[in-house]
Amino acid sequence: MHTPENISAQLAAQIATAILKTPRQLPQLDAALISSGLIDSFHLVDLALFVEDTFGVRLDDGELNAQCFDTIAQLAALIASRQAG
């Protein structure tokens, strides 16, 4: 079972490496990702694929927006709650 901290760390590493292409500079866990445009809409699908492959949690298309999660911490909490349930 992944802890929220552990999930956050993996998400941050993935976003830095695969999306922002700045592997040495991790995004802040509470930084806005979607509403800030750090992740554009085309990369949301990448993030959903990564979440499913890594944590076994399926994000619905309708959840890929800033209302459902906008930060790494919020996404990690969402994933942890699904895994618990």
Q: Using CB under 8 A, which of the segments 2-10, 19-27, 77-85 binds other proteins?
A: 19-27
- CA distances in angstroms from 62 to 27, 45, 48, 66, 67, listed in the order given: 24, 11, 11, 11, 10
Name which position in 1, 62, 84, 85 contacts other proteins (CB under 8 A).
62
Q: Which is nearer to other proteins, 6 or 13 (CB)?
A: 13
Q: Which is nearer to other proteins, 22 or 81 (CB)?
A: 22
Amino acid of residue 78: L
Closest CA to 25 of 33, 35, 13: 13
Residues in contact with other proteins by CB under 8 A are: 21-25, 31, 34-42, 44-46, 48-49, 61-62, 64-66
